[in-house]
Amino acid sequence: MELLFLGIGFFFVIGLLLLNIVTSIWAYRDSIRKGNSKEFALLILLGTLFFPVVGLIIYLFIRNI
C-alpha cells in the first residue's frame, strides 16, 4: 500500500515539473511573439521556471503592457 502512494506521489511530482516546464516555454514563446526582446523573454523564462506560480501570474499581468 505504501508503495502505491509512493508511486502516485512520484507521478504527481513529475507531472507538476512537466507542467512547470511547459508553461515556462509557453511564456517565453509568447513573449517573443508579442515583440519583446530575447533578453526580456529569457528573463520571463527564468522567472517562470524558478518561481512557477508567482512568475506566471506576474507575466500574465505584464504581458500586454
36 lies in a domain?
yes
1 lies in a domain?
no
Percentage of residues in the chain with pLDDT exceeding 70?
Answer: 100
For 7-32, what is each residue's pLDDT tens digit?
899 999 999 999 999 999 999 999 99
Give pTM, 2 decimals. Answer: 0.86
Rounded Cα–Cα distance for residues 64 and 35 (Å): 11
49 lies in a domain?
yes
Domain count, the chain: 1
4 lies in a domain?
no
Answer yes or no: are the C-beta atoms of 42 and 28 closer than 8 Å.
Answer: yes
29 lies in a domain?
yes
34 lies in a domain?
yes
Handedness of CA 2, 4, 5, 7 (dihedral sign): positive
3 lies in a domain?
no
Q: Residue 28's domain spans which residues?
A: 20-65
- Say if residue 1's pLDDT is above 80: no
15 lies in a domain?
no
